Chains A and B, each alone.
Chain A
Amino acid sequence: MGSDERKQELFGKMKEGVIEYDEEQVVEAANALVDEGFDAYEGIMDGLAAGMEVVGELFDSQEYFVPEVLMCADALYAGLDILRPKVDMTGREAVKGEVVIGVVEGDVHDIGKNLVKMMFEVAGFTVHDLGADVPIDEFVEKQINTNSDIVALSAMMTTTMMGMKKAIVKLKEKNPDVMIMLGGAPVTGEIADMFGADGYSENASNAVSEAIKMVAALRKM
């Protein structure tokens, strides 16, 4: 078992690797973390997710744009792929749960969805990703089959917003306890209320930063 100083050094390297979208540095530090017997879950939260939190700030301040965020996400995944299998769940609060995620029919844009998915994966959720342009019934079916706690619906365009409304009605009808999250450009808080959703992110760029903020929030849990 290595020293605390060494642990912090490796966390720092992972964090920096995510921010600088340096996959190699992240992989190296994540491997060292595992080899030297440090806690993988801490590495995910205090290394990878901590880096993504800074990326969110850089995005908000318009130093980073979507391409940079996507590359940071790749670097994060490179580390996550190494660390996640090593996470020891014994003695932890709980496996967080399961989530069904997808982009509603009529919409083929999946970047926002992919970032939200990443957030759930970082936090330890089991994610059932239905992809983009998904008919409403598939969300309902998947939720029932997996008994997922959350259904996250994404739509970037006004044109597909009405599909969300139908999906929410159907999902709540089958299972009133399921939590529904909406994301995408045209969905405002008002519309989310109107449709009976439990959470939303305001627009395209907010979908990116909201997803990252959720990572930050989950780190604190």
Chain B
Amino acid sequence: MTMTHKERVLKTIKGEPVDKMPAFTGFGAVLVEGLEKYDLRFAHVHLDADEMAKAAAATSELAGLEAIVVPFDMGVEAEALGATLNTYPHSEDLLYPTLRDKFVHTADDIKLPEDIANAGRVPLVAEAIKKLKAQYGEEYAVASWVLGPFTLAGQVMDLNELLKMSFKEPERAEAILDKLSDMIIGVGKAYIAAGADYLSLREMGATSDVLSPRAYKKQIKSFSQRIVDELKATGVPVVYHICGNTNMIIEDMAALGADAVSVDQKNDLKASREKLGDDVVLLGNVNPWDVFTQGTKEDVQREVKASVEAGADAVWPGCDIWPSTSTDNIKTWVETSHGLTPRRSGA
């Protein structure tokens, strides 16, 4: 029986048998070739629901990626809390939006919007999700993502201040993370209400490149747990992602009970699979820049296979796809994945 892209994606996240190994991601995958198809400018696709939806869908239309993901930039939550977004409209280069104001020093500086679903660009992203669901929702999975509270804190606070505070005044830092968790749950639920088929929680900054495993367990994990629990309670699958070195905390990541765990290229996936056993759904861990953007067709084939051999249930890039990536390389990722035996087959 042939499955739709959507079925294949959702079953894979939930650890159920599939007919083919799907190729999809939980992060942004907008391509320059997709922007050209719809005559869009990168700096503007973040600001218009219709453009955002088109830019996201183009990657599936051109290259067959099996999930369509919005938004692309990391500023949605912070902007809805009052930060100013800079989209670099005048730059000739592809630049992702950033946030200028580091306005949070204590939990009191965070004013949660009364109606999170209508704060900042949250309704714009929700609108893009609705449009995508209406047009592609039968066939493709439509997904979204939110930042983890520590990563979000790094957007609205000076990172030096946050990191030192987490060490010197942990209670003060935790009060901030707690409030940001409420914000993230509100944003996630708005995306789910709009129809998102799955959600990724990206606590990218809580990597062991930055924080000790001890700090992760003491300060990060409980907030991730609360968010995963609340989002999962809606019935929508949740993928939990952290960047960088994650081998020392991979068991903690899996213990949160998200439907799947995603790691990037710095994770030794084979070691993770051995630690976690067969039940945990692991997604990863191809280097998006080195392999998808810079690599040849052979590089993509080799690395996709390598991730699966190391124990991935499906191949995810470690981060967003860089827009200058060729559709040909994305096609190769899709074709190579389809040619591999799924870890959980038998459908």
Known: A65-B210, A67-B210. 11 other contacts (CB 8 A): A65-B208, A67-B215, A70-B164, A71-B167, A105-B88, A106-B91, A106-B95, A108-B99, A158-B293, A204-B209, A205-B209
Most buried by A among B86, B91, B93, B166: B93
Docked pose: A158 CA to B289 CA in angstroms: 7
Residues of B within 8 A of A108 (CB): 98-100
B295 at the interface (CB under 8 A from A): no
Per-residue CB contact flags for chain A residues 133-164 toward chain B (1 = under 8 Å, else 0) read 10000000000000000000000011110110
Does B95 lie within 8 Å of A158, measured CB to CB?
Answer: no
Residues of B within 8 A of A186 (CB): 289
Does B98 lie within 8 Å of A133, measured CB to CB?
Answer: yes
- Do A159 and B211 contact each other (CB < 8 Å), given the known contacts A67-B166, A70-B163, A105-B95? no
- A interface, size bucket: 20 to 34
Q: List 23 A-B contacts (CB under 8 A).
A: A62-B248, A66-B210, A67-B215, A70-B163, A70-B164, A71-B167, A106-B88, A106-B96, A108-B99, A108-B100, A109-B159, A110-B159, A114-B160, A133-B86, A133-B98, A158-B289, A160-B95, A162-B94, A163-B93, A166-B93, A204-B244, A205-B244, A205-B245
Does A70 lie within 8 Å of B160, measured CB to CB?
Answer: yes
Per-residue CB contact flags for chain A residues 17-46 toward chain B (1 = under 8 Å, else 0) read 000000000000000000000000000000
A107 at the interface (CB under 8 A from B): yes
B212 at the interface (CB under 8 A from A): yes
A130 at the interface (CB under 8 A from B): no
- From A188, which residue of chain B is reached at the shortest CB distance? B290
Docked pose: A106 CA to B346 CA in angstroms: 47
- Do A67 and B208 contact each other (CB < 8 Å), given the known contacts A105-B88, A105-B91? no
Query: Could you list which residues of chain B lie within 8 angstroms of chain A, going by C-beta atoms?
Result: 86, 88, 91, 93-96, 98-100, 159-160, 163-164, 166-168, 208-212, 215, 244-245, 248, 288-289, 293, 319, 322
Residues of A within 8 A of B289 (CB): 158, 186
Residues of A within 8 A of B212 (CB): 62, 65
Does A106 lie within 8 Å of B98, measured CB to CB?
Answer: yes
Docked pose: A157 CA to B95 CA in angstroms: 10
Per-residue CB contact flags for chain A residues 86-109 toward chain B (1 = under 8 Å, else 0) read 000000000000000000011111
Residues of A within 8 A of B248 (CB): 62
Does A66 lie within 8 Å of B211, measured CB to CB?
Answer: yes
Docked pose: A70 CA to B208 CA in angstroms: 15
Does B98 lie within 8 Å of A107, measured CB to CB?
Answer: yes
Does A67 lie within 8 Å of B211, measured CB to CB?
Answer: yes
The 7 closest A-B pairs by CB, nearest first: A106-B95, A67-B163, A67-B167, A65-B212, A66-B210, A158-B289, A205-B209
Docked pose: A132 CA to B264 CA in angstroms: 26
Q: Which of A176-193 contact B (CB under 8 A)?
A: 186
Per-residue CB contact flags for chain A residues 190-219 toward chain B (1 = under 8 Å, else 0) read 000000000000001100000000000000
> How many Å from the CB of A158 to the closest CB on chain B?
5
> How many Å from the CB of A163 to the closest CB on chain B?
6
Residues of B within 8 A of A158 (CB): 288-289, 293, 319, 322
Docked pose: A65 CA to B212 CA in angstroms: 6
Docked pose: A133 CA to B100 CA in angstroms: 9
- Do A65 and B98 contact each other (CB < 8 Å), given the known contacts A105-B88, A114-B160, A158-B322? no
Most buried by A among B99, B166, B168, B322: B322
- From B214, which residue of chain A is reached at the shortest CB distance? A65
Does B93 lie within 8 Å of A71, measured CB to CB?
Answer: no
Docked pose: A111 CA to B164 CA in angstroms: 12
A68 at the interface (CB under 8 A from B): yes
Docked pose: A166 CA to B92 CA in angstroms: 11
Does B93 lie within 8 Å of A162, measured CB to CB?
Answer: yes
Residues of B within 8 A of A105 (CB): 88, 91, 95
Residues of B within 8 A of A133 (CB): 86, 98, 100
Does A159 lie within 8 Å of B166, measured CB to CB?
Answer: no
> How many Å from the CB of A16 to the closest CB on chain B?
19
Does B164 lie within 8 Å of A71, measured CB to CB?
Answer: yes
> How many Å from the CB of A77 to the closest CB on chain B?
12
- From A69, which residue of chain B is reached at the shortest CB distance? B163
> How many Å from the CB of B87 to the closest CB on chain A?
11
Docked pose: A123 CA to B73 CA in angstroms: 39
Residues of B within 8 A of A157 (CB): 96
Residues of A within 8 A of B99 (CB): 108
Does B98 lie within 8 Å of A66, measured CB to CB?
Answer: no
Docked pose: A71 CA to B210 CA in angstroms: 13
Per-residue CB contact flags for chain A residues 46-77 toward chain B (1 = under 8 Å, else 0) read 00000000000000001001111011001000
Residues of A within 8 A of B244 (CB): 204-205
> How many Å from the CB of B38 to the closest CB on chain A?
21
